[in-house]
A and B are shown apart, each in its own frame.
Chain A
């Protein structure tokens, strides 16, 4: 596709429920990042994939959060037993995977998650 897409754009759920957020990266991009952004704040790193493997998951806040990228393209962020504090915009970004700081991340529009 032309850019990174994320579905759904909005998700409202009840406390305790399970949710899945999907990210379709730019075709051919090997690196994929998930971030969480609260209102008025900068994005907070969650997890980074290089290909199919999670190269760095140090940003996942606890074991309720899990992400997969089984075929090295589409990724799904899964949140179990959602809590009100999980409410935020979840951003996905992909890049070509070049080493070092020349990586340009292309961001999707995000999924706004609201936990009631």
Chain B
């Protein structure tokens, strides 16, 4: 069965500093990996995904993520954090081994960017 782990419940970073939100996964086959962001009282918004190809994926709002197969990780990064990036971030995975697997989410990491 597929699973996702986000080891940090909370990440604090100063505005202008780089940020990293960590994600590791477990699947039987090859992973399809996703990052979503949730602002208060809103639904989840898609940020970026890795399906195949280049390990560095660029997404919305200046975010990027790096797929590392040997470490089974897909960490979310941004070179310079903004206060407006403060939100709840979710990593998600689907297993390409079976086309009928659902999208499974991690517990989420709350990012606080301090001015």
Q: Do the two chains belong together in a single complex?
A: no
Hey, which bits of chain A sit against chain B, CB under 8 A?
A: none
